[in-house]
Amino acid sequence: MPQQYQQVPQQQQYYENEDDDVYEDEYYQQIGQTKFYQIAHYQKYFNVTTFDVLNRLRKSLWPFCSKTTLFVDEDRVDLYGPIWIMLTLIVEIAIVGFINYHIDIATMAIEVKGGKIPTSQMAYYSLTKIARAGFVVIAYFVLNPLLLMLVIKYVLMIPEMQYLWLFAVYGYSFTIFVITTILNVVPIDWLRWVFLGVSGLVSLCFIWVEMYTILKGKLNKGISKFIMLCLLLAATHCVFVLALKNYFLT
């Protein structure tokens, strides 16, 4: 009898250990919290009104004219706007690349018909190119904020910086690219460079302003490191603009 009495709690303890994850999930639900890998954890980041999204889109287009930061309340960071911008940009790159391809074909046909030898190189378009464009855009939106967060945390020594805030700022900074990418159907090469150059500058300035507004009280003597961080951002932006102009939109 004593041996049977000792085996019962051991068996009960075994089943309790087996269901630890279930008990933990129920506990998190009771206290109103969720885990980062659960869909419900990100639900609050999509609880945003159309007015809020439009207001943030407007702020991102005029970074020096706004009197407040993108997120007046840091707890109201949303992912709806950045993800919408990212997906819209991918679709636009595919459409504009297709249009530019047919414009180049028509231009070369006119030159040949007029007895001229085509001097410009015809645009290359394929589904593989679209897939690569989508991969590059998503990777840029996801990895750049991650790199930025690591630099801010371990170089500038500001541990409270959040990845989702940086992701949202990056996403909204590309609002102007949604507009100027469409304008790249204009068959004038130097004008395309102007559109993309202005877009890159406005986007970059928006990120700089937002970051400095949030970090200026925490930099202490790390202003030189912050300048280096801004130069790193400028370099990554230049790479993206060059890839967009020389490969994906031509």
Mean pLDDT by runs of 10 across the 250 residues of the chain is 46 46 52 65 80 89 74 74 94 88 77 66 71 90 93 86 91 93 87 92 92 80 82 92 82
231 and 143 in one domain? yes
Q: What is the pLDDT of residue 75?
A: 56
* Same structural domain, 19 and 60: no
The whole-number pLDDT of residue 3 equals 47
Q: Is residue 41 part of a domain?
A: no
My answer on whether 224 and 118 are in the same domain is yes
Domain identity same for 66 and 117 = yes
Q: Look at residue 124 in the predicted model and tell me its pLDDT.
A: 63
Q: Are residues 12 and 55 in the same domain?
A: no
Give domain status of residue 222, yes or no.
yes
**224 and 147 co-located in one domain:** yes
Domain extent, residue 111, equals 51-248
Question: Does one domain contain both 16 and 77?
Answer: no
Q: Please check whether residue 96 is in contact with residue 130, taking contact to mean a CB–CB distance below 8 angstroms.
A: no
Q: Residues 11, 101: one domain?
A: no
How buried is residue 211: exposed, middle or buried, by Cβ count under 10 Å (0-12/13-18/19+)?
buried
Q: Does residue 45 lie within any of the structural domains?
A: no
Q: Is residue 101 domain-shared with residue 15, that is, in the same domain? A: no
pLDDT value of residue 39? 72
Residue type for 93, please? I
3-class secondary-structure state, position 247: helix
**Would you state the pLDDT for residue 44?**
80
Please tell me the distance from the alpha carbon of residue 63 to that of residue 68, in angstroms, as a whole number. Answer: 10
pLDDT at 177: 94
Q: Does the residue 142 lie in any domain?
A: yes
